[in-house]
Amino acid sequence: MIDTKRKEELSLSYLNAICAYAGIAVEPQKHDDDSIDVIIKKRITRKDGRLYSAQLAVQLKSTSMDLIEDNNSIHYSLKVKNYNDLRMQSTMQQLLFLLVLPNDENNWIQHSIEQLIIRRCMYWLSFSDTEETENTDGITLLMPKLQVVSSDTLLALLQKVAEEEII
């Protein structure tokens, strides 16, 4: 299996583990022509007590490259096609999830009878307030380091969707 496919599978595994823990369904998309790899969804109880079927569309990316970082963000280059797809108006809010792995593939995963560890973490980014780009090839995104994908984060994002808030 080529490295890009291995990284793609690791990003899906990472997300599946976190979602399973939180009781969130992950539905892989058969066709991702629109840059959406999975839909995550859960029935959420709104603040007014009503149930809401909250869903988010997610593009999964993974990298083990040396990335430029500052105190607050990671710089990640995304193809313009993906950028435009994710910022497009949609009936479902769309996010990018980026799994950052160590450079050395021997450090990506550690497993034993006691534990399974996927090293580093996954970050998320919303495209709800992004501007159109004149770039033709790629665009550098600033992935906030505080926006770590976790079970709690996903539940909070789905709660915002249930409350009909823009992420």
Residue 5: count of CB within 10 angstroms of its CB: 9
The string of DSSP codes covering 101-124 is PPSSGGGSEEE-SS-EEE-SEEEE
8 A C-beta contact, residue 64 and residue 102:
yes
Asked, for residue 128, whether it belongs to a domain, the answer is: yes
Within-domain flag for 130: yes
Q: According to the model, what pLDDT value does residue 157 have? A: 98
CB-based contact 61:11 (threshold 8 Å): yes
Spatial distance between the Cα atoms of 151 and 33, rounded to a whole number of angstroms: 27
Give the tokens for residue 108: 């990506």
Residue 21 is assigned to a structural domain of this protein: yes
Q: How many domains does the chain have?
A: 1
* DSSP notation for 24-67: -EEEE-S--TTS--EEEEEEEE-TTS-EEEEEEEEEEEEE-S--
Where is mean pLDDT largest: 42-51, 64-73, 113-122?
42-51
In this structure, what CATH number is given to the domain that contains residue 140? 3.40.1350.10
Phi, psi angles (nearest 5°) of residue 17: -65, -45
> Which residues form the domain of 33?
3-162
Per-residue pLDDT of 65-117, as tens digits, reads: 888 888 999 999 999 999 999 998 889 999 999 999 999 989 999 999 999 88
Instruction: Please report whether residue 167 resides in a domain.
Output: no
| 121 inside domain | yes
- 109 found inside a domain: yes
- How far, in Å, are 86, 107, 135 from residue 132 at the CA level? 11, 37, 9
Q: Is residue 55 part of a domain?
A: yes
